[in-house]
């Protein structure tokens, strides 16, 4: 974790990227730390990736899924958006008011964005055909 007593992390409780104060390390487990959110003060156990996992974009590229609105993603998936040329991590799954499925992704350059997932072309085509 380094010498810093703070880490920039996503708080699952308040749903924002915040500055988390490192409270302590989990006993007997490597790379897991107890952190307190500076906004909502909720205590979370956060896994910090080691330097080996962060080094080299080629290692990270192997784990990435390319974004496509027809694909179904899981929370924690790492994705690459080819149009934006940015990588991100899926934080949350959402059902929109019109019943479509969406994901909340935090990108390295663009920040948080909502993207459609599990888009069915057959449903759109059915709506376009007059009765």
CA nearest to 47, candidates 87, 99, 3, 12: 12
3 state SS of 88: strand
Question: What fold characterizes domain 56-122?
Answer: SH3 type barrels. (2.30.30)
Look up residue 24 and give its DSSP letter: E
pLDDT at 17: 81
- The pLDDT score that the predictor gives to residue 73 is 92
Domain ranges of the chain: 6-48, 56-122
Phi and psi, residue 60, nearest 5°: -70, -40
pLDDT at 103: 94
The pair phi, psi for residue 93, each rounded to 5°, is -110, 140
Tens digit of pLDDT at every position of the chain (131 positions): 444 577 777 787 788 888 888 887 777 777 777 888 888 888 887 776 543 344 333 333 447 889 999 999 998 899 999 898 888 999 999 998 888 899 999 888 888 899 999 887 655 555 555 65
SS3 of residue 46 by DSSP: strand
């Amino acid at each position: 974790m380094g010498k810093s007593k703070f880490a920039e992390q996503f708080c699952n409780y308040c749903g924002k990227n915040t500055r988390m104060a490192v409270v302590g390390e989990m006993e007997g487990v490597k790379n897991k730390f107890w952190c307190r959110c500076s906004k909502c003060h909720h205590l979370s156990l956060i896994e910090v990736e080691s330097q080996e996992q962060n080094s080299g974009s080629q290692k990270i590229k192997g784990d990435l899924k390319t974004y496509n609105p027809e694909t179904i993603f899981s929370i924690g998936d790492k994705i690459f958006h080819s149009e934006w040329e940015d990588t991100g991590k899926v934080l949350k799954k959402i059902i929109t008011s019109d019943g479509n499925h969406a994901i909340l992704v935090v990108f390295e350059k663009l920040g948080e964005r909502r993207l459609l997932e599990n888009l069915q072309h057959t449903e759109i085509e059915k709506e376009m055909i007059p009765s």
